[in-house]
């Protein structure tokens, strides 16, 4: 079982270079998402692409999307079976378990991710 010890310091901390900072067009509003998170497309991003990081990200995103689609299919089957048995489409206690797991592993943004996944899988409440 996951714990609630996950921190929520954001994905990137202190890895920006001087050049990155200078080129940055960051729109940060001080929400604690870290430094060096400029949204520009400067040399640092190009260097990462050349090193193969972007293809790896694209590959991971494709897998995440495929997993979300698979999750939606499995979830639909569970919901249909529950409805056919006279139950409801939504099972709130189960959703609380899922929200807790994502929050425990990923912090408060994990909760947001889980809520989005649930919306994708069972529709809006």
Ligand X SMILES: O=C(O)C(=O)C[C@]1(C(=O)O)C=C[C@@H](O)C=C1
Chain residues that interact with ligand X, rule: CB under 6 A: 75, 78-79, 90-91, 94-95, 98, 118, 121-122
Nearer to ligand X, 13 or 73 (CB): 73
Q: How many CB atoms lie within 10 A of CB 103?
A: 20
DSSP 115: H
**SS3 sequence of 43-58:** HHHHHHHHCCHHHHHH
Nearer to ligand X, 91 or 109 (CB): 91
Q: Output the smallest distance, CB 120 to ligand X, in A.
A: 8
Q: Output the smallest distance, CB 111 to ligand X, in A.
A: 14
Which residues neighbour 115 within 8 Å (Cβ) at sequence distance 6 or greater?
99
Q: Output the smallest distance, CB 36 to ligand X, in A.
A: 35
Nearer to ligand X, 43 or 97 (CB): 97
Nearer to ligand X, 12 or 90 (CB): 90
Positive or negative torsion for Cα 44, 109, 107, 67: negative
DSSP 85: T
Q: Output the smallest distance, CB 74 to ligand X, in A.
A: 8
């Amino acid at each position: 079982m996951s714990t609630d010890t996950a921190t929520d310091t954001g994905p990137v901390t202190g890895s920006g270079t001087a050049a990155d900072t200078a080129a940055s067009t960051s729109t940060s509003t001080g929400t604690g998402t870290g430094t060096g998170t400029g949204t520009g497309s400067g040399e640092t991003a190009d260097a990462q692409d050349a090193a193969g990081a972007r293809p790896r990200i694209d590959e991971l995103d494709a897998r995440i999307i495929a997993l979300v689609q698979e999750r939606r299919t499995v979830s639909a089957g569970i919901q249909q079976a529950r409805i056919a048995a006279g139950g409801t489409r939504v099972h709130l206690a189960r959703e609380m378990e899922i929200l807790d797991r994502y929050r425990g592993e990923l912090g408060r943004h994990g909760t947001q991710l889980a809520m989005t996944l649930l919306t994708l899988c069972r529709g809006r409440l």
